[in-house]
Amino acid sequence: MMASFGIPDDVVMHETSLVVLESPNNYLTQDQPGFILDFAAFKEFLVEDGRKKGAEYRFNARVRDPIVKGGDVVGVRYNGDEEIYAEIIIDATGPAAPLAKSLSIVDLERKNHAVGIEYQFEGINTNPPGYADLTDAMMLRLDHEYAPGGYSWLFHTGEDEAKVGVCFIQNERYRENDTHDRTIDGFLEHWLETDPRFENASRIPDTQVRGSAHVQSPGSMSTTSFMAIGDTVPSIDPVWGEGVYKCMKSARMAALTADRCLTGSVDTSTREMAVYDDLWHKQVAPQQDRRLMMTKMLYLASNERYDQLMKDLNKIDRDTLSAINNGNKREIAKLLHPSDLSLLWRFWRETQAQ
């Protein structure tokens, strides 16, 4: 993954070798190589690399709205009344999506809005008794005590340090399993206070990261002379997160589309720009709707059901796990239990009512 995007080793905090899924009383461990990025260093690399390749950056620029002439997007206004024009405009502003919203390209719904918070810690015990060994691991935990309607995570970054965070959908339906009226900061603090892995942990200064995303299908992603990429669309993987990787893939598909439209005779018509939509659904997030449905149902399940899920996942082979992750209906169906029927029925009724 890193090599395919030309990302240098010096922006990698740590290489991981395991993925761990946890429930309140069980866990699944799988061999899976990965990388933890130093996000600040990664962004600095992107700017430096872009400049070397001819890109111009305008910092402290707040985009206001698109400039539209004759029904075509021809530029943007920013910082009040300043304007800039281009053959193709790309909205990469994340969930704010000021351009895509103005053009009615995306409809990011409040009910699908997820928030997250993360810190880096030192003094982490990655292998206490009774828990999975998280040395060189990325761990996601499904547990409504710490993240109702979402998940918490611990990504080992080497020695006794880790990135630790919580995210969940801010929707009453997904907060039904919340027995305490806590803020997202309150849920993170509760996890830190009750999990022995954090008994001697302390925050590393200036490492707080807050963010948000929308867990929903993207709908349209382009129009004449315009594309929306990354979390503007949104591109986040509904099961694993993988925000940075998905956003980079989204940007690559947009670059391929732009190159196609601007090479030879320039054609930035709606039809030609729609090539990006096709590439996105094929290359960035295949089976997105199916994976999204699977994720939303997962967030509604009980803690007891999470424990049973981990037991079931530990009984199946790697190929089957991969098929489930890719949204294979047959393999997903094998994980269902009779007790899931009421959840499925309620989820279906709510979907039909939307």
The token pair at 100 is: 């895509």
* In a domain? residue 313: yes
Q: Taking 80 as the threshold, does the pLDDT of residue 327 lie above it?
A: no
Domain that holds residue 331: 289-353
Q: Give the Cα separation of 184 and 149 in Å (integer).
A: 12
Tell me how many domains the chain contains: 3
Q: Give the Cα separation of 89 and 93 in Å (integer).
A: 12
Same domain? 205 vs 222: no
- Spell out a b/e string for 142-158, using b for 16 or more CB atoms within 10 Å of the CB, else e: bbbbbbbbbbbbbbbbe
Q: Residue 140 has what pLDDT?
A: 96
- Sequence length of the chain is 354
Same domain? 222 vs 309: no
Predicted TM-score (pTM) of the model is 0.90
Same domain? 134 vs 29: yes
Mean pLDDT of 270-287: 92
Same domain? 24 vs 123: yes
Same domain? 231 vs 209: no
* In a domain? residue 324: yes
Q: Residue 347 has what pLDDT?
A: 76
Last residue of one domain, picked from the residues 284, 300, 327:
284
Same domain? 237 vs 90: yes
Same domain? 135 vs 224: no
Same domain? 298 vs 335: yes
* C-alpha radius of gyration, the chain, whole number: 21
Q: Residue 119 has what pLDDT?
A: 97
Q: Of residues 23 and 216, which shows the higher confidence score?
A: 23
Mean pLDDT rounded to a whole number for the chain: 90
Residues ≥6 apart with Cβ < 8 Å to 239: 291, 294, 295, 325
* In a domain? residue 250: yes
Q: Give the Cα separation of 324 and 332 in Å (integer).
A: 6
Residues ≥6 apart with Cβ < 8 Å to 123: 160, 200, 201, 202
* CA 298 remoteness from chain centre: 16
* In a domain? residue 50: no
Same domain? 203 vs 155: yes
The 10s digit of each residue's pLDDT in 31-53 is 989 899 998 899 999 999 999 99
Same domain? 149 vs 273: no
